[in-house]
Structure 1
Amino acid sequence: MITVTDTIRQIILETPFLEDGLADGIINLSALARQMKPRIERELLKPTSESAILMALKRMLPDIRLSKKVVETFNKDLSDITVRSGLCEYTFVKSATILEKRQQLMQTLRDRQDYFVTFTQGIHEITTILNSSLKPRITEIFAGEEQVSHLDDLAAITLQLTREMVHTPGIHYNILKQLAWQRINVIEVVSTYTEFNIILEKKQIDRSFKLLFRYLHRT
């Protein structure tokens, strides 16, 4: 049976910035309860009171604030942030031959550790993000493959995560939220177990780095 609290939690999940406002105590709970009331009544298929919604919101506040505090505690360990520019992205339709060509590209780079190269394989497509200096090799090796898109003038911000962060809900969201609030578009997000790479347009990289640096090093 769906409860008032369940419905409120769903509304908050659908409106991420609302959670931050509640955690920071900058939202008028009575006004929020009044705004939520029609949606909650539709979900419950029965009338409810603003006071019941207000009480449910107040009961949820400690958990919301604790969740934010946990994430911010882990964020203090995110001191390793680096920038790499001069990147490009290619996306191809996945084919019977494209994996062999990916292996061929990596074979040509086996003795080079200074290149930035990532591959993401989906159901129908495969995307690679790499140094722009490798474009001639991409053109040569992937000749004959169906190209979906090609983006130039990209850069990456790389954050080194700890193993504990990997299992902490909200880490990635709180990082990306800083960019979303400033209307900075993220082209791609690529990660390994403890590396989180945010791919952006080169023109956005300075502003994005400053935002994330201030966020991660604020007192």
Structure 2
Amino acid sequence: MKTISSIVEEYIKTKPFLSSALSQGIINLTSLSRLIKPEIEHQLGKEVKNGAIVMALKRLSSELEFRVTHRVLKFVRNIGEITVRSSLNDYTFRVSETLLKSQAAFMSEIEGLNTVFYTSSRGVNESNIVVSNEVAELVGKIFKNEILLEKQENLSSITVKLPKDNVNVPGIYYFIFQRLSWEGVNIYEVISTTNEFTILVNDEQVDKAFTVIKNLKSL
């Protein structure tokens, strides 16, 4: 049986940003109730008073706040080491039959160069590598026969080590990236492994991005 509370909850679940705002108590419930009233009445099949919707939103806000406080916040406070690297270049190449050989040749050349940053990822049609600016000339030489789709210079990386149970807590990446978005941080690239992720941002935004992530520990 459909109730006002169940319909309101289902509606909010489809609006991630709205759900987050409710959990933090930064939204006017009366105004929101007026906004969603037509949809609630349509789903319920009868007229609904604003007060009833407001009460449903209040109960939902408390539940959402509890979930965030006791799961996501507990998790982000235990974020591990945060590593920052600057002066990086990001290259996107079209996947080809020779690309892996080029990457292997490049890795062989930089083996033993402990100061060089290197990471790569591969999609269906594109392959991406991120390297320190100091080996940009080497990239140009080894990958000269590959199809370069895009290149971005003057990037910085922030690598965050996550607790091992991160795969069991839904909403972690959304929570972190939402904070970065709110602060106007534009993420150029995201690279992740099981227990850590790396974001690439423009050099001028790295300080702001680092502060946002570091402050998660004190929420």
Tell me: CA distance 1:51–1:104, structure 2 relative to 1, closer, same or farther (3 Å): same
Return 5+ residue gaps in structure 2 as ranges: none
Contact persistence 2:119–2:131 (CA under 8 A): yes
Return 5+ residue gaps in structure 1 as ranges: none
1:93-132 alpha-carbon deviations (Å, 9 max, x no partner): 1111112212222222333344321212111111111111
**Equivalent residue, structure 1, for 2:117:** 116
**Equivalent residue, structure 1, for 2:26:** 26
Percent identity for Structure 1 against Structure 2:
32
**Equivalent residue, structure 1, for 2:101:** 100
Kindly provide the amino acid, as one letter, of the partner of residue 23 in structure 1. S
Contact persistence 1:41–1:48 (CA under 8 A): yes
Question: How much has 1:176 moved relative to structure 2?
Answer: 1.4
Tell me: CA distance 1:97–1:74, structure 2 relative to 1, closer, same or farther (3 Å): same
Contact persistence 2:90–2:152 (CA under 8 A): yes
TM-score of the pair, normalised by structure 2: 0.86
**Equivalent residue, structure 1, for 2:184:** 183
Question: How much has 1:52 moved relative to structure 2?
Answer: 5.0
**Equivalent residue, structure 2, for 1:63:** 63
Question: Runs of at least 4 residues of structure 1 off by over 6 A?
Answer: none
Distance 1:60 1:182 in 2: 26
Q: Greater CA deviation, 27-36 or 83-92? A: 27-36
Question: How much has 1:31 moved relative to structure 2?
Answer: 2.3
Contact persistence 1:161–1:194 (CA under 8 A): yes
SS in 1 for 2:200: strand
Contact persistence 2:116–2:134 (CA under 8 A): no
Q: How many residues align?
A: 216
Distance 1:6 1:104 in 2: 58
Contact persistence 2:84–2:159 (CA under 8 A): yes
Distance 1:115 1:209 in 2: 21
**Equivalent residue, structure 1, for 2:210:** 209
1:168 is the counterpart of 2:169: yes
Contact persistence 2:83–2:160 (CA under 8 A): yes
Distance 1:170 1:116 in 2: 29
Q: Greater CA deviation, 145-154 or 59-68? A: 59-68
TM-score of the pair, normalised by structure 1: 0.86
Tell me: CA distance 1:3–1:114, structure 2 relative to 1, closer, same or farther (3 Å): farther
Structure-to-structure mapping, 1:193-204, within 5 angstroms: 193-204=194-205
